[in-house]
Structure 1
Amino acid sequence: MQGMPRARVPYLIAAMLLATALPGLPGSASAQEARGTISGTVRDATGGVVPGVSVTVTNEAMGTSIAAVTDERGFFPAPYLIPGTYQVVAELSGFKRYVREGIDVRVNEVLDLQIVLEAGALEENVTVIASAPLLETTNASLGQVVDSRRVAELPRAYGNPFALIGLAGGASFVRNARFEQPFAPTHIVGYSINGTRANRSDVTIDGVPSTSTANAGQVIASYVPPPDLVQEFKVQTATFDAAFGNTEGGVTNLSLKSGTNALHGTAYFSTLPADLFANDFFANANDIPLPDFTDRRWGGTAGGPVMLPGLYNGRGRTFFIYGYEGINQALPRNNGTPTVPTEKMRNGDFSELLALGPEYQIYNPFTRRAVEGGRFEQDPFPDNIIPPALIDPVAKEILEFFPLPKTAGNPDGTGNFQQPELKEPVDYASHTVRIDHVMSDKQRVYGRVSWYDRNSNYNNYFGNLATGQEFGFFSRQVALDHVYALNGTTVLNVRYGYDRFIRLTDSDSASHGFDLTTLGFPASYNSTIPEDIRRFPRINITGYQGTNVPGFRRPTETQSFLATLNKSAGAHSLRTGMEFRQYRETNRFFANDQTGQFDFAAAWRPLGCPSTPGNVSPPLTMN
């Protein structure tokens, strides 16, 4: 076995990410943060600041609250809010109770809320029903928030949420749009942002890295969540915050939905019926029917409070949500116009080719002899027929795996194996489970587990174990997050993420452990190759459809740890922290190359014919 391990372990440390806000700024968003902040100042009718005001920020869907008290400047912070709609209540004896509802908090957004309290009894309410939208005044980064309505209503290829990255100014998709599918991770984030190279931007889910490395250091999306689970996402096209790194261009941060106090769910199913598609003009003109295909997508979500009857009531405290998406697809795969030997050719009979010209004459290499002038000559096979005694028995067994021609092809027998009905099946399933828990009024945690499997089989030209490849992507993710309010002015956030992504291609499973002695190879040769990597051998014949190609297994791992400390100190808001990432990639090439690769090029055929004419013979038929 030939292994080619390669471990790349760049330790990306944003060392002591220190961001000191200017005096008067109410706060700042954290690095790679998927949550938002509501902060602001409370004043009285004369414009004076009011300290000691109790401010309660409540998630309207979950019913969870964060409490704060204004300081001597009348300032209050409410950080690390899950994107959603919030209510803010401000109370102080001697003033009317202030209530504002319907405040939308988005990804990585800091909203500045200016509250004015009116003198009066606390029992009296001043409810703000409609007001001007709150502005984000503390973040200089440029970008575009794609909200839940756009995610739900705008058309997306195969439901892929990353297809909406192009809504951000300066973002342009430069990859093949045909592969803009959730199970094609190399292509779906192929965006150039403000002129940077494609596949060079960072992608996070709830602030946790969701990227893997690919060819030439490209960044790919290692996990794509079910679309109904996406709350919204933000594409930051210019990141001035020192907390952002590991990117040439922008940062795309998806925020997933959380469970709420009400049990709720979604479900969908879509299909593309082949009968409703029209054939094109040229196919009709050549009597080529429209290829049949399958394309189905389904999924949904379910979420709510964690309820264990008689044991635990998680309403207002513990929430769950689960999302799933499945795709079943079988699209036509054009294999061009390959060639396979005819029935006569595999028995050594090439007589029909003589009518095309003398250049198709085959010569017996065992009659080669020296003649004058330092040249060699050899005798032609009578009638261009190779005697059965000269046909190699291993070659004859291998040719049994080559199917017969499907079409007449060209006069010389080439191009006789067109398969317009050939399909490439794909089965894809994506899952995510998220749990949110309020430990106390000072501590909140969430955990998420995500995974998907994509399996496909393609290039099965012969319909047997001699061809066909299993191709797969397998993603596993874990995210853990803890927010701890140490006191009224200090909040600590700690986050861990683990991402494992595997790309795998191998010969069809039917060929695993293939016994080479069934082809006539000696047992000594068969036993030298470990069974776990033994496959049907690789046969390359110039001008003919060959057998399997080599495979590989390429697992990548990304581990990340982030700690951020937010501190309000008088007229300043301070933020410091660090992020650590470890990337590891291992390549292992294996499969039928270790079993044997047999190449037969036209220039080296021992048949006495020039290398330029058409495909006169699979040369392996010679002993």
Structure 2
Amino acid sequence: MRRSVLVVAFLATFLSVGLFAQTNLGRIVGTVRDNTGGVIPGVTVVVRNEGTSWTREFLTDETGGYEIANLVAGTYAVSAEISGFRRFVRPGVVLDAGRTVRIDAQMEIGEVANEVRVESTTPVVESETPSIANSLDYEGHMKSAVSTGNRPWEALVSLPNFVSGTATFVYSLAGSRGSQLEIHVDGIGTPSAGSPLGSGTMTMEGTSELRVLAVNNSAEYSQPAILQQISRSGTNDFHGSLRYYHNNSALNARPYFVPKAASHDHTFGAWFGGPLVLPKLYDGKDRTFFMLSYDGNFSPGFAAVNANVPTAAMRNGDFSASTFKPIKDPLTKVAFPQNKIPAGRINPVSKSIQERFYPLPNYGDTSVFTQLNHRIIFDNSAKGGNLDLRIDQKLTDQNTMYARVGWVQFNVARMEANLPTVGPRSQLRNLRSVALSDTHSFSGLLINELRLGYHRS
């Protein structure tokens, strides 16, 4: 028995796996008081998601306070009810990802059947935590002057403290280094060796909010600068959108000193979501919701490749027309006459490789060796697509969960080397990401959140 305990202790110590505790869920807190300012304990406080009608409730403690945590981003209605007082209702409470919103309630004496309805905007200032954050929703991104549609982080340069770096996909936030910015998709990190922003971002259509955390982040984050991308969920109403963005050089201004380069970029996206309804089989209203989104891009184009290749005379051993140093016989160390290698001294293997991989010059005076004397044009069109599917399910009044699956595929053509005969290389990449979240409320004070994620780049 003692040996088994030692083995388990050893495995737990040296074979442990790191787990990350980042969360993108928010909470609503507040205090319930009467007309005189006195606190009211035992008040039933209910928050209801206005999109899905999912509810959570809490009884205020002896100080009149309440805290309802682990809420997904969305718009909520907060109500408070107790015998002897009129029912308090505050609709339209916007809760961003990972944010704490305070909604205090003032109860008035009267019948519960009567209602006090408070219409007000959600506070913008973060008063419950010392962190400083900025956020941008889907509509804000689409209306941004710097938006091109499929790259959500491009619109973030309009936010304070967010600066674009000189390298591709490298950004600085609140003075941090580019390598210190990390992206989280639904609370799951998406690291990538090629980009600090990761390689598993969702579609912009499938994004409900982009949130930037820069100052006084909590210890749950491994980097000083965090970019959170929160997926959109379906609601009880069917919604969707379709967009198309086209950039054509014919509509661009002509540069003064150089010819205008041709370009034709096509960017598009769509999303659709709502309750999962199967006619005569299943009605998912108030229980099951879906959201399907897709975006893609196609940019036809061509690129030039310049190479240095030997002339026809040089291929036959005649270097007399060039400015090279005298070529010496490797056996005698004596220069070849007129800088010409006899045909019988050329290795047949080398000659075969030369004829196979080195084309003849096609640019300039082909009889004289010059720099970049061979030029070709090849197709380097770029295309890609991103598909996301999210399913939300209410198992019980105390248990909700959602699952999201994402696919990203893009293809870029590049030349493998400067030698045109090597040919272009088609780089096809397939990225996969999966997120699963389960939230169970055992009581008003005990809530468990289980989140699992998988990312392949």
Q: TM-score range by the shorter chain?
A: 0.7 to 0.9
Pick the aligned partner of 1:261 from 214, 230, 236. Answer: 236
Deviation at 1:111, TM superposition (A): 0.8
Structure 1 pair 346–271 and aligned structure 2 pair: CA distance change class (3 A): farther
Asked if structure 1 preserves the Cα contact closer than 8 Å seen for 2:94 and 2:122, the reply is no
Aligned to 1:621: none
**CA-to-partner distance for each residue in 1:77-117, whole Å, 9 max, x for gaps?**
22222222111222223222222111111121111111011
The answer for the alignment partner of 2:329 in structure 1 is 365
Q: Secondary structure at the match of 2:233?
A: coil
Inter-partner Cα distance in structure 2 for 1:268 and 1:346: 56
Does the CA contact (< 8 Å) of 2:358 and 2:421 recur in 1? Answer: no
For residue 41 of structure 1, give the secondary structure of its aligned residue in structure 2.
strand
Alignment of 1:489-500 (within 5 A): 489-500=445-456
Change (3 A) 1:340 1:464: closer
Q: What CA deviation, in whole Å up to 9, does each residue of 1:4-41 have, x standing for no partner? A: xxxxx995457xxxxxxxxxxxxxxxx53222211212
The residue type equivalent to 2:369 in the other structure is D
Aligned with residue 379 of structure 1, among 301, 321, 336: 336
Secondary structure in 1 aligned to 2:236?
Answer: coil
Give me the whole-angstrom Cα distance separating, in 1, the residues matched to 2:184 and 2:239: 26
Aligned to 1:233: 210
Relative to the length of structure 2, the TM-score reads 0.87
Choose between structure 1 and 2 for higher RCO, CA contacts under 8 A separated by at least 6 residues.
1
User: 248, 255, 264: which one pairs with 1:273?
Assistant: 248
Shift in alpha-carbon separation, 1:344–1:500, aligned structure 2, 3 A: same
The secondary structure found in structure 2 opposite 1:199 is: helix
1:395 partnered with 2:350: yes
The residue number in structure 2 matching 1:444 is: 400
Counterparts in 2 of 1:220 and 1:148: CA distance versus 1, 3 Å = closer
Shift of 1:203: 1.5
Could you tell me the TM-score, scaled by structure 1's length?
0.65
Kindly tell me: are residues 131 and 204 of structure 1, through their superposed partners in 2, closer, same or farther at Cα, counting changes over 3 Å? closer
Q: Is the 8 A contact 1:112 1:136 kept in 2?
A: no
Q: 1:322 Cα deviation (Å)?
A: 1.4
| Residue 220 of structure 2 corresponds to residue 243 of structure 1 | yes
Look up the match of 1:198: 178
Matches of 2:425 and 2:149, distance apart in 1: 24
Q: 1:44 to 1:363 in 2, by over 3 A?
A: closer
Separation (CA, whole Å) in 2 of partners of 1:350 and 1:271: 52
Q: Structure 2, unaligned stretches of length 5 or more?
A: 1-14
- Offset from partner CA, 1:162-207 (integer Å, 9 cap, x none): 123334433322133xxxxxxxxxx32x122333321222221111
Write the distance in 2 (CA, Å) between the matches of 1:33 and 1:477: 17
Per the TM alignment, residue 435 of structure 1 is displaced from its structure 2 partner at its CA by 0.9
Contact 1:50–1:72 (8 Å) recurs in 2: yes
Alpha-carbon displacement from aligned partner over 1:212-264 (angstroms, at most 9, x marks no partner): 335xxx734121211122111221112342222x22x2111111110111122
1:471–1:489 Cα change, 3 Å: same
Aligned to 1:578: none
Contact 2:68–2:444 under 8 Å retained in 1: no
1:62-81 alignment runs, 5 A limit: 62-81=52-71
Pairing 1:216-365 to 2, within 5 Å after superposition: 219-244=196-221, 246-247=222-223, 249-277=224-252, 280-284=255-259, 290-333=260-303, 335=305, 337-350=306-319, 353=321, 359-360=323-324, 363=327, 365=329
CA offsets per residue over residues 289-328 of structure 1, 9 Å max, x none? x554442111211111111222221111111111111112
Partner of 1:210: 190
Partner-residue secondary structure (3-state), 1:271 = strand
Gaps of at least 5 residues in structure 1 are 1-8, 15-30, 177-186, 285-289, 370-375, 502-623
Bigger mean CA deviation after superposition, 271-280 or 80-89:
271-280
1-structure distance, mates of 2:411, 2:45: 52
Structural mapping, 1:580-619, within 5 Å: none
Alpha carbons 1:111, 1:135 under 8 Å: kept: no
Residue among 40, 51, 64 paired with 1:50: 40
Contact map agreement 1:339 1:413 (CA 8 A) in 2: yes
Q: Equivalents in 2 of 1:463, 1:52: separation in Å?
A: 79
In structure 2, C-alpha distance between the alignment counterparts of 1:441 and 1:95, rounded to whole Å: 26
Does the 8 Å CA contact 1:293/1:332 hold for their aligned counterparts?
no
Match of 1:203, SS? strand
SS of the residue 2:69 aligns to: strand
- Distance in 1 of aligned mates of 2:417 and 2:218: 53
Query: How far 1:418 sits from its partner (Å)?
Result: 3.7
Residue 132 to residue 162, structure 1, CA distance change in 2 (3 Å): closer
Which amino acid is the alignment partner of residue 77 of structure 1? E
Listed as ranges, the matches of 1:543-558 within 5 Å are none
Q: Is the 8 A contact 1:110 1:136 kept in 2?
A: yes
Deviation at residue 265 of structure 1 after TM alignment: 1.4
| 1:509-547 deviation per Cα after TM superposition (whole angstroms, max 9, x unaligned) | xxxxxxxxxxxxxxxxxxxxxxxxxxxxxxxxxxxxxxx
Q: Which amino acid aligns with 1:115?
A: A
1:34·1:205 contact (CA, 8 Å) conserved in 2? no
Native 8 Å contact 1:361 1:380 kept in 2: no
C-alpha distance in 2 between matches for 1:146 and 1:404: 56
Question: Residue 18 of structure 1 corresponds to which residue in structure 2?
Answer: none
Q: Which of 470, 473, 479 matches 2:426?
A: 470
Paired letter, 1:345: M
Report what 2:9 is aligned to.
none
Give me the whole-angstrom Cα distance separating, in 1, the residues matched to 2:257 and 2:158: 36
The residue aligned with 2:8 is none
Q: Which residue of 2 aligns with 1:88?
A: 78
Query: What is the SS of the residue equivalent to 2:359?
Result: coil
CA distance in 2, matches of 1:162, 1:276: 26
Alpha-carbon shift at residue 436 of structure 1 (Å): 0.9
Contact 2:391 2:402 in 1 (8 A): yes
